[in-house]
Amino acid sequence: MLSRCLTLSLFLSAAWLVVAGTPARGVDGDSAATSARTVSRKNERRATPVRWLDNYGRAMAEAEKQGRMLLIDFFDPQGDDACRRFESETLSDPQVRKQLRRYVCLRLPVSAKIKMRGKDAVLLEQDAFEEMHGKPGIAVVDFRSRRAPLRGAVVSMFPITDRLDYSPEQMAVILDLPRGTLTQRTLIFAVRTHPEKPASTDGEPLPDLLEEAESHSQYQASIQVQGHHFWDTRFGRIIARLPGGLGAREVCAESWPGDNLVEAAVECVRSWRQSSGHWNAVSSEHPFFGYDMKRGQNGVWYATGIFGGG
């Protein structure tokens, strides 16, 4: 299959610390370590449980007042095995629970309704949750940011589908995404959860590069053609916005028509992996990065990554 991407280059979560030494008399070193791990696991299970709210209005008000992110778990009481595993395994994982305590957490059935102009309306059918596609899964509303367009915006949507199932490790990435829009954070998620752990998002997400990636993704989507259009002009503008005379690199990709947002992000990263040049840029660590993606009227998502470095 031909690659559908382009590139241009210019220029201890819960780990154990073992200290060498002689174990206490009468205590086998391996037995002591095993015992310590057992105690640790018991302590994790006894950790303060996540506080789940069940009222949308109350959760929104609490998140806004406290300036915290609101996480909504849309669950399906009649869900399939993937849904049940997500609820029983992913959301119960000790590391995930630890991260969830930074959020205001809300659990609602997929059929949950709110009042709209005096009438009942299904929450998942509202435009703000379009990328959930009516499916169970996770959505995040940003009340941590103080200004528009992020404040009060839905900045993560991860529906559970036949093709999408979120492990505890992937959920930990979701809960640690940097500030950004829905499309920016989704593409960063896809990069960070690639099996080869590319390093391009290990640096700092620079607002100027996020803005440039958004602009170019939108342009590609508007003309429905992937490419480094006007790079010569954009390159000069980009390096002028970077600190310290750094150079810039860019990668572009497109999804299959009809992919949902998360599927498209994963596909774009997969397509970058098909070329050594593309992957060199995506897998390398850079001081600054910006990622974004936009959908054209043809149902194709167009992704851009821009990196500032030496």
Give the integer Cα–Cα distance in Å for 59 and 207. Answer: 29
Are 199 and 282 within 8 A, CB to CB? no
Which stretches of the chain drop beneath a pLDDT of 70?
1-48
Give the integer Cα–Cα distance in Å for 162 and 149. Answer: 32
Q: What is the three-class DSSP state of 109?
A: strand
Helices of type H across the chain = 29-45, 56-66, 81-85, 94-100, 168-174, 182-192, 207-223, 231-241, 261-273, 276-283
pTM higher than 0.75: yes
Which residue type sits at 239? Answer: I
CA pseudo-torsion sign 211, 198, 129, 127: positive
Contacts of 35 by beta carbon, 8 Å cutoff, 6+ apart = none
Q: What pLDDT digit, counting tens, does each position of 44-74 carry? A: 545 568 999 999 999 999 999 999 999 999 9
Q: What is the pLDDT of residue 79?
A: 86
Q: Count H helices, E strands: the chain?
A: 10, 12
